[in-house]
């Protein structure tokens, strides 16, 4: 009898520890965010967000803020990615054990960039990142998501958001 119990407990442990994430299906399931740190020009002072949805929608946008003013009418670039690209993002999150990463990956510095990845599950979210993070796996996730927007499209959006800031801020 004892011999039969051990394999059963072992299998229960293995299947109980398997990772099966229920990603958010109503909103984005991942957002990659960045913002410059240190002294920068006012038209460079904005957050950059890439949000990816289960259905393949990808939005590139900035966060609303007061200084400089960025409203809900700021430019948003929208595109569609393939199901395979959505699954690749999820695969990277699981491969690199995103949910077990430390929340703060900051490196001592006074300027550079703040980088964050937020993953949304149906019942919780986890945000990882910080100032100039130097974690290869974390940076691989960011690089993959950013790479889903063509450089020409990204450049055009950057130009639009800079113009928007200049038009809406009287400095």
* Domains located in the chain, CATH noted: 24-168 (3.30.1560.10)
pLDDT given for residue 45 in this prediction: 76
pTM of the entire predicted model: 0.85
The residue ranges of DSSP E strands in the chain, in sequence order, are 28-37, 48-53, 57-61, 65-66, 69-70, 77-80, 112-120, 125-131
Rounded Cα gap, residues 85 and 115, in angstroms:
21
Q: From the CB of residue 148, how many other CB atoms can be counted at a distance below 10 Å?
A: 19
- Of all residues in the chain, what percent carry a pLDDT higher than 90? 73
- The pLDDT tens digits for 6-17 are 454 444 444 444
**Average model confidence (pLDDT) across the chain:** 88
- Is residue 153 within 8 Å of residue 76, measured between CB atoms? no
């Amino acid at each position: 009898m004892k011999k039969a119990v051990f394999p059963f407990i072992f299998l229960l442990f293995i299947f109980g520890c398997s990772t099966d994430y229920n990603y958010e299906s109503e909103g984005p399931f991942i957002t990659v965010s960045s913002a410059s740190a240190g002294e920068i020009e006012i038209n460079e002072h904005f957050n950059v967000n890439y949000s990816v949805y289960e259905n393949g929608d990808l939005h590139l946008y900035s966060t609303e803020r007061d200084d400089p003013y960025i409203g809900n009418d700021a430019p948003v670039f929208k595109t569609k990615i393939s199901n395979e690209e959505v699954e690749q993002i999820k695969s990277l999150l699981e491969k690199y054990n995103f949910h077990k990463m430390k929340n703060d990956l900051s490196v001592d510095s006074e300027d550079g960039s703040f980088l964050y990845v937020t993953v949304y599950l149906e019942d919780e979210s986890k945000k990882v990142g910080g100032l100039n993070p130097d974690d290869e796996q974390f940076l691989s996730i960011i690089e993959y998501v950013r790479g889903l927007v063509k450089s020409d499209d990204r450049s055009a959006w950057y130009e639009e958001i800079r113009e928007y800031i200049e038009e809406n801020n009287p400095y």
